[in-house]
Amino acid sequence: MTYAIQVSMFAEVLNIFFWFAALVLISYLLDMLWAYSLWRWVYIIFAAPGIVVHELSHYLACKITFTEVIRVKLISKSGGSVTHGPPKGGVFGQVLISMAPFIGIPVVLILFAILFDAVSFFNCDLRMTPDLSGNMGQMIIGTLSSAWDLIHINLWDNGSPWFLLYLYLAASLTASLAPSKQDFINAFVGLIVIILILGGWALVLDLVLESWEAPVATFLVDLFSWVVAVGLVMSIFGLLIGLPFLLIKKVYQWQKAYEKQRKKEKKKEKVRRKKQKEDEKKDRDRERRDEKKRANEIEKQRKKIEMSEREMEDDTISTNPEDDI
- Read off the pLDDT of residues 198-215 as tens digits, 9 standing for 90 and up: 777 777 766 766 555 556
Residue 59: pLDDT band (50, 70, 90) is very high
What pLDDT score does 53 carry?
92
Sign of CA dihedral 15, 20, 21, 22: positive
Query: Does residue 264 lie in a domain region?
Result: no
Report, in angstroms and rounded to the nearest whole number, the Rg of the chain calculated over CA atoms. Answer: 42
Asked whether the beta carbons of 116 and 122 are under 8 A apart, the reply is yes
Helix (H) or strand (E) holding 178: none
Domain span at 88: 8-255
* Cα 149 to Cα 152, 174, 241, distances in angstroms: 5, 19, 17
Model pLDDT, residue 7: 41
Please report which residue ranges of the chain form alpha helices under DSSP H: 8-37, 40-64, 90-98, 101-118, 136-151, 162-175, 181-203, 215-318
Q: Across 5-14, 174-183, 265-274, which has the greatest mean pLDDT?
A: 265-274
Residue 325 counted as domain residue: no
pLDDT given for residue 221 in this prediction = 63
81: pLDDT strictly greater than 80: yes
Burial of 81 (0-12, 13-18, 19+ CB in 10 A): middle
Residue 134: predicted pLDDT: 54
114 is a domain residue: yes
Task: Indicate whether 300 belongs to any domain.
Answer: no
pLDDT-derived band at 139, boundaries 50, 70, 90: low
Q: For residue 303, is it within any domain?
A: no
pLDDT of residue 56: 92
Does 305 map to a domain? no
Of the ranges 132-136, 156-160, 256-260, which is most confident?
Answer: 256-260
pTM of structure: 0.62
As a whole-number percent, the residues of the chain with pLDDT over 90 amount to 3
Domain presence at residue 314: no
If you average pLDDT over every residue of the chain, what do you get?
Answer: 76
Least Cα distance to 173 among 106, 270, 218, 257 occurs for: 106
- Over range 160-185, report the average pLDDT: 80
Q: Is residue 197 part of a domain?
A: yes
pLDDT-derived band of residue 60, with 50, 70 and 90 as boundaries? very high
Percent over 70 (pLDDT), the chain: 74
The torsion angles phi and psi of 210, rounded to 5 degrees, stand at: -65, -20
160 pLDDT above the threshold of 60 = yes
Backbone torsions φ then ψ of 119, nearest 5 degrees: -80, 115
At 93-131, the pLDDT tens digits run 888 888 888 888 888 887 888 888 888 888 887 765 555
The three-point CA angle 130-224-209 to 5° equals 110
The lowest-confidence range among 50-59, 129-138, 142-151 is: 129-138
**Predicted pLDDT of residue 1:** 40
Residues 6 or more apart from 109 whose CB is under 8 A from it? Answer: 170, 173, 174, 230, 234
Q: How many structural domains does the chain have?
A: 1
- What is the C-alpha to C-alpha distance for residues 212 and 201, in angstroms, rounded to an integer? 14
Burial group, residue 34, by CB count within 10 angstroms (0-12, 13-18, 19+): buried
Which strand (E) or helix (H) includes residue 128? Answer: none
Question: Is the pLDDT at 11 greater than 50, yes or no?
Answer: yes
- Beta strands 79-84 and 69-76, pairing class: antiparallel
- Rounded (5°) CA angle 50-56-59: 150
End-to-end C-alpha distance for the chain, whole angstroms: 160
Instruction: Please give the pLDDT value at position 146.
Output: 67
pLDDT band at residue 137 using 50, 70 and 90 as cut-offs: low
Q: What does the pLDDT read at residue 311?
A: 72
What is the SS3 assignment for 157?
helix
Q: Nearest Cα to 107, choosing from 274, 223, 235? A: 223
Q: What is the dihedral of CA 103, 105, 111, 112, to 10 degrees?
A: -170
